[in-house]
Amino acid sequence: MLTNNPAVSKFTNILAIESSCDETAAAVISNDHVLSNIIASQAVHQFYGGVIPELASRAHQQKIIPVVDEALRKAGISENDLDAIAFTRGPGLMGALLVGVSFAKAFAMALDIPLIEVNHMQAHVLAHFIRKEFPGGKLSPVPAFPFLCLTVSGGHTQIVLVKGHLQMEVIGQTLDDAAGEAFDKSAKILGLPYPGGPLIDKYAKEGNPHAFPFPFPQIPGLDFSFSGLKTSFLYFIRDALVKDSGFIEKNKADICASIQYTIVEILLRKVKKASEQTGITEVALAGGVSANSGLRNAFLKMKDEAGWNVFIPPFEYCTDNAAMIGIAGYYKFLKGEFAGQNITPLARLNF
């Protein structure tokens, strides 16, 4: 056992693999601490304005071994120090998932260690339980059960009632587009490259969020809808360009601030409703869109406005990463929830 890491002998070391969409990622975690977290993003999709599934699978195939190798090296451990391998079983793109699942199965068999299947959406929520040690030995705070988690990514928008590490219930979700798609499709209409969410965030910082009002969907309960907003945004830009072909360039910041404000308000209003209905004021954000500064600020304001205890993950654990797969794997390891070698990925996977 060649290692210079003192955590190795005392702790559970898990190698985690994430390959559900367009990030090839591997991480090593030791209990609830991250030893390494490597992400190889796939630039190839930028040329097409969205993720091309077949290109994603091929890029995963190329990158998986170097990424795992780097994760082990950065963690300072050898593969013989691993206690289990966790991987994303779904939801995601089938061809992309297959690469990670096949790699995890083969590596676990070669090392004769257990396999742990992880639900990608559950992992986004559990990213909140990755612990960091502050100077002086104090640990980063974690949400108390039960809490509400708004999980907002490129493929999903969910309000999750989290009763325990592995006890979660989706109490609201999108009926059509996800919040990330609403950002990315709006960006595409503005001629911005994929993924456009971070660019809208960037331009919105200089703009007036009330410059251009957009309609709010009237969906009962805790569910969301973003397709109507997308259509009205498309028509708004189309009509404005007929009158002035330079409209987007002249008003980019105000347009981005206005669409961002509308998406954030749609999300916030539903989470407020969920908090009122359940009486829960412990509220967390998760998923790629939780990197959005407008959303983060709107949630942080709720501390003063409604006494919420707000949890927002560090940026590196908001967008897709393998550390979150590792922490989910750790909680399953503690319960002895292992997968067999006959496991297959699932493009659609609920919890």
**Cβ of residue 41: shortest distance to ligand KG4, in angstroms?**
10
Is there binding between residue 184 and ligand KG4 (CB under 6 A)?
yes
User: For residue 185, what are its two tokens?
Assistant: 């499709």
32 binds, options ligand KG4, Zn ion, none, Cβ within 5 to 8 A by partner type: none
Segment lying near ligand KG4 (by CB under 6 A), choices 58-66, 148-156, 167-175, 271-279: 148-156
Return the residue of 13, 24, 37, 153 that touches ligand KG4, per CB under 6 A.
153
Task: Please identify which residue in 86, 90, 320, 349 interacts with Zn ion, judged by CB under 5 A.
Answer: 320
DSSP assignment of 30-87: ETTEEEEEEEEE-GGGGGGTS--HHHHHHHHHHHHHHHHHHHHHHHT--GGG--EEEE
325 three-state secondary structure: helix
Complete edge-to-edge strand list for the sheet that includes strand 309-311: 167-173, 157-164, 147-152, 282-286, 309-311
Span 277-336, contacts to ligand KG4 by CB under 6 A = 287-289, 291-292, 319-320
CA 117 → CA 89, 90, 158, distances in Å? 6, 9, 21
Rounded to a whole number of angstroms, the minimum distance from the CB of residue 198 to ligand KG4 is: 4
Q: Which token pair is 320?
A: 């897709």
Instruction: Pick one of 24, 153, 157, 251: the residue that binds Zn ion (CB under 5 A).
Output: 153
Q: Choose between 103 and 317: whose C-beta lies nearer to ligand KG4.
A: 317
Q: How many residues bind ligand KG4 (CB under 6 A)?
A: 18
**CB 320, min distance to Zn ion, A:** 4
Distance of alpha carbon 168 from alpha carbon 252, whole angstroms: 40
Given a contact cutoff of 8 angstroms between Cβ atoms, the answer to whether 107 and 85 are in contact is yes
Q: What residue is closest to ligand KG4 based on CB?
A: 288
What is the sign of the dihedral through the CA atoms of 19, 21, 25 and 27?
negative
Assigned token pair, 123: 């992992």
Nearer to ligand KG4, 202 or 238 (CB): 202
- 104 or 289: CB nearest ligand KG4: 289
Exposure letters 120-155 (e unless 16+ CB within 10 A, then b): bbbbbbbbbbbeeeeeeeeeeeebeebbbbbbbbbb
Our finding on whether 177 is near Zn ion (CB under 5 A) is no
| Dihedral angle, C-alpha 317, 319, 321, 324, nearest 10 ° | 50
CB of 315 to ligand KG4, least distance (A): 9
Residue 172 interacting partner from Zn ion, ligand KG4, none (CB closer than 5 to 8 Å by kind): none
Considering the rule CB under 5 A, would residue 186 count as an interface residue with Zn ion?
no
Cβ proximity to Zn ion, 39 vs 71, nearer residue: 39
Residue 16 makes contact with ligand KG4 by CB under 6 A: no
Q: Choose the contact partner of 291 out of ligand KG4, Zn ion, none; CB within 5 to 8 A by kind.
A: ligand KG4
Whether the CB-CB separation of 57 and 27 falls below 8 Å is answered with no
Q: What's the rounded Cα separation, in Å, for the pair 304 and 315? A: 23
Task: Give me the residues that bind ligand KG4 (CB under 6 A), please.
Answer: 21, 153-155, 180, 183-184, 195, 197-198, 201, 287-289, 291-292, 319-320
Task: Give me the residues that bind Zn ion (CB under 5 A), please.
Answer: 153, 320
